[in-house]
Structure 1
Amino acid sequence: MQVGVVTSFETKGHAELRNLRLVDVEEGVVRAGLAIRIRDGVIEAIIPDDGSSEGSGTSGLPVLDMGGAFVAPGLINMHTHFSLSLPGPVGERLESMDPAGIALYMADGARRTLHNGVTTVRCVAEKGHADFALREAIGSGWVQGPRIYTAGRALVCTGGHGHSSDDTMECDGADEFARGVRTQIRAGADLIKIMISGGIAGEHETISTPQLTTDEMAAAISTAHAWGRKVTAHAGPAAVIAEAVRLGLDCVEHGYELTAEVCRAMAENGTALVPTLIVTRSGAFFDELGVPQWMQQRSLGAGERHIASYRMALEAGVDVLLGSDMPPFWPFEGTSAVVRELEHMHDFGLDAARTLRAGTLAPARWLGIDDQTGSIAEGKWADLIALPEDPLASPSALRDLDFVMQGGVVVRDDGRATPGTEER
């Protein structure tokens, strides 16, 4: 997807969007004949679109003619690494960057992510706590990027998954994991991530390798909950996931080797799943990064079991959430990684309306911000995307996304929106 140049007509947090079809993700329907009035970056009202040139009468807002586009809430990606470094030469280059280099690299990724329609992200392990600085820079308007909710560094055991990079913090024993949680919260973490099993990118482990004891998991989860933070876990095997769910885990990342029994427990306990289906079907991405064959074989070899796990989760009624793991903006198989992940979620069993909800309202609910984003409603942030086809019919419609608004400000416009009445 080529990002177009923003037109000279830019709203500054105030606008009225007309001539659109509003995508209602809560009800799973498209609503016609409406206009969206935005003031100070927030949706002030959803009103009938009478088609007049006088806009909202005395509102004084500039009008954007959306050309009949489908307007949907911005996407929310729940498994993001702006500083991702995998084994191979590209990863080695990232690992060698100084803090300033990493911060600039992450800022570029954040901008590209926003331009690809992702208006909010959940970061689940970033290098050197640069994510906190990036969150502040975006919030202050210094750089463009999605709204960031972050775990800071992920907590791992000595030698555990991801231990070789400074996007993790090694801990051993219950006391150290409790301290690790508090350390991330002190730095500003919105949530906590723990690595409870091996994974694809660890050379000296397997996906099924248990890595935390029950006491360590319990300490991390109970401490985080006491501080009002949810906990998500990188996890593959069913047994270790079952134990973590019993202890109150809020979310599972990947879930490569789930069972029907564990999925039922997740559903009963309200534990969500971010399946990241793309990571076990991304050979071209690995080739591009020079990822070694041992990792490629482990990843692609897990694909069939991964899909079976995902389908069991759907059957059990587990809440599934969008997360790409691969950088959301990355060009992949004719689209962006985040759209390709949504296509996989749909292709392997989730209907189109629920797929779009898994990338909008459902993540907002997990993050506790559904009163501010995740759907198009009065009082919510004006984080919006537009596209020529209906995303409730197929997530592939998102391949043609051509307009992004964040907080009422147009950050991408490939020529669809045109000025209506002038600002008075």
Structure 2
Amino acid sequence: MHEVVIVNCTVVDGRAAEGAAPLHDAAVLVRGERVAAAGPRADVLRTAPDAPRIDLGGAHLTPGLVNMHTHLSLSLPGAGGEAVKAMGPHDLALYMAGGARRTLECGVTTVRCVAEKDGADFALRRAIEAGQVAGPRLYTAGRALVSTGGHGHEGGDTLECDGADGFRRGVRSQLKAGADLIKVMISGGIAGEHERIDTPQLFGDELAAVLDTAHAWGRKVTAHAGPAAVIAAAVELGLDCVEHGYELTPQVAAAMAGQGTALVPTLLVTRCKEFFDQLGVPEWMQCRALGAGPRHLESYAMALAAGVTVMLGSDMPPFWPFEGTSATVRELEHMSEGGLGPAGALRAATLDPARWLGAEADIGTVQPGRYADLIAMDGDPLAGTAAFRGIRWVMKGGTVVRDDRATRR
């Protein structure tokens, strides 16, 4: 296995939110795909004195970001979304592969896909794992489960089900395809023309069937959900994660914290008019989304106050250029500014997602045994989350996939 030592850096990861201090004048020994040592430079160099070195020029080194709400085949209402829906399977696969490469290059080394079209995500995952396509580590729910006519039913990224038996079959169909988790739509949302955000869409026996079946197979369940009452019922049944949570209450947030139900708030989706305009999103959806923004932010604050685990997820394509940075980084800035703070934001983008995915032995920190999925920036991410706007170097599995300084030479 090849070895390389990364030097002239300060190492910091999500453990900083739990009291771990940054490691100044550090070095990281990478052996093959994984970190073999991380510590003071002199100590690490003694373990591999002859290994080639990568000098980061005083940068801050963190784990790669984990985006927990990703759609590489996103097709919102409007002209942009219709163009994606019109793609044949070959065009779609290439489109998603291009998005995966751009996602990796912007510093996102792991994604959780939460509804992708027609099984293309499974083919993309195989291609990435085989080294045929550049992209992040990919965890996927396959197609999201939805009631007939429910949220997102119009596209190939959802599977319509009805009744407890129907939803049980839906779960098994995605597990058969290779799903790492299950996504279910339990309420309306901002992108459904003939529904409201607070429209309930599953009966209790249907959701119970989803949860029981997925949990029996060792898979977690996340739910698209907006209103407090719908979320409360799902949490009581054992839901593992809520996407969006537009209309929480303090009581429901407390129940989530007590149950260990995480939240991926996707704050961007209610404050992204520029993105909507680029895609030609119709006025009815823009009004609903942007109008939900203030309440959405209040719900997020309630979750933080209750101690709910929150995790980074952009909903917008992770790589999308937005307000001077990527959608991923802009979402993380909103999370930090909304009360999480820089150290908490770093944890929400790395360690907590790794724990939710059951992958903390592989990703999420800069420690021996973890994959060498690393990013570097000149600014200090513990001083301000905007430091991630300056990501200039990306490594995945021990291979450098972006080096802005090398490009300039």
TM-score by length of 1: 0.93
Distance 1:57-1:208 versus aligned 2 partners, 3 A rule: closer
Aligned residues: 406
1:150 maps onto 2:140 in alignment:
yes
| In 2, Cα distance between equivalents of 1:27 and 1:105 | 37
Find the counterpart in structure 2 of residue 25 from structure 1: 14
Distance 1:63-1:289 versus aligned 2 partners, 3 A rule: same
Residue type of the alignment partner of 2:14: V
1:91-121 Cα distance to aligned partner (Å, 9 max, x none): 1111010011111000000000000000000
Conservation of the 8 A alpha-carbon contact between 1:81 and 1:123: yes
| In 1, Cα distance between equivalents of 2:398 and 2:314 | 26
1:235 to 220, 225, 233: 225
1:180 maps onto 2:179 in alignment:
no
Query: CA offset at residue 48 of structure 1?
Result: 2.8
Find the counterpart in structure 1 of residue 343 from structure 2: 353
Conservation of the 8 A alpha-carbon contact between 2:246 and 2:299: yes
| In 2, Cα distance between equivalents of 1:361 and 1:47 | 19
1:166-197 Cα distance to aligned partner (Å, 9 max, x none): 10000000000000000000000000000000
1:88 maps onto 2:78 in alignment:
yes
1:44 maps onto 2:33 in alignment:
no
1:311 maps onto 2:313 in alignment:
no
Query: CA offset at residue 417 of structure 1?
Result: 10
| In 1, Cα distance between equivalents of 2:14 and 2:309 | 15
Residue type of the alignment partner of 2:31: R
| In 1, Cα distance between equivalents of 2:147 and 2:50 | 58
| In 2, Cα distance between equivalents of 1:339 and 1:157 | 33
Residue type of the alignment partner of 1:33: D
1:138 maps onto 2:138 in alignment:
no
Q: Give the alignment of 1:106-125 within 5 angstroms.
A: 106-125=96-115
Distance 1:125-1:49 versus aligned 2 partners, 3 A rule: same
| In 1, Cα distance between equivalents of 2:144 and 2:48 | 51
- Secondary structure in 2 aligned to 1:44? strand
Query: CA offset at residue 59 of structure 1?
Result: 5.5
2:197 to 207, 210, 223: 207
- Secondary structure in 1 aligned to 2:134? coil
TM-score by length of 2: 0.97
Query: CA offset at residue 61 of structure 1?
Result: 2.3
- Secondary structure in 1 aligned to 2:12? strand
| In 1, Cα distance between equivalents of 2:184 and 2:91 | 26
| In 2, Cα distance between equivalents of 1:250 and 1:14 | 39
1:104-156 Cα distance to aligned partner (Å, 9 max, x none): 00000000000000000000000011000000100110010000000000000
| In 2, Cα distance between equivalents of 1:310 and 1:58 | 46
Conservation of the 8 A alpha-carbon contact between 1:22 and 1:34: yes
Query: CA offset at residue 262 of structure 1?
Result: 0.4
Query: CA offset at residue 49 of structure 1?
Result: 1.3
Q: Any unmatched runs of 5+ in structure 2?
A: none
| In 2, Cα distance between equivalents of 1:47 and 1:221 | 42
Residue type of the alignment partner of 1:385: I
Find the counterpart in structure 1 of residue 66 from structure 2: 76
Conservation of the 8 A alpha-carbon contact between 1:64 and 1:418: no
Q: If each structure's helix is expressed as a fraction of its own residues, which one has the higher value?
A: 2
Q: Give the alignment of 1:199-348 within 5 angstroms.
A: 199-348=189-338
Q: Any unmatched runs of 5+ in structure 1?
A: 1-11, 420-424
Query: CA offset at residue 24 of structure 1?
Result: 3.3
User: Percent identity at matched positions?
Assistant: 63
Query: CA offset at residue 50 of structure 1?
Result: 3.1
Once superposed, what is the RMSD of the aligned Cα atoms? 1.7
Find the counterpart in structure 1 of residue 156 from structure 2: 166
Conservation of the 8 A alpha-carbon contact between 1:24 and 1:31: no
Runs of 4+ with deviation above 6 angstroms: 416-419
Conservation of the 8 A alpha-carbon contact between 1:38 and 1:408: yes
Find the counterpart in structure 2 of residue 3 from structure 1: none
Distance 1:57-1:287 versus aligned 2 partners, 3 A rule: same
1:279-337 Cα distance to aligned partner (Å, 9 max, x none): 00000000000000000000000001000100000000000000000001000000100
Residue type of the alignment partner of 2:8: N
Conservation of the 8 A alpha-carbon contact between 2:14 and 2:348: no
| In 2, Cα distance between equivalents of 1:224 and 1:94 | 30
Query: CA offset at residue 418 of structure 1?
Result: 12
Distance 1:68-1:210 versus aligned 2 partners, 3 A rule: same
- Secondary structure in 1 aligned to 2:175? helix
- Secondary structure in 2 aligned to 1:32? strand
Conservation of the 8 A alpha-carbon contact between 1:199 and 1:206: yes
- Secondary structure in 1 aligned to 2:122? helix
Find the counterpart in structure 2 of residue 9 from structure 1: none
Distance 1:169-1:106 versus aligned 2 partners, 3 A rule: same
1:48-75 Cα distance to aligned partner (Å, 9 max, x none): 31399xx557564211011110000000
Conservation of the 8 A alpha-carbon contact between 1:373 and 1:381: yes
Residue type of the alignment partner of 1:210: P
Query: CA offset at residue 15 of structure 1?
Result: 1.2
1:16 maps onto 2:5 in alignment:
yes
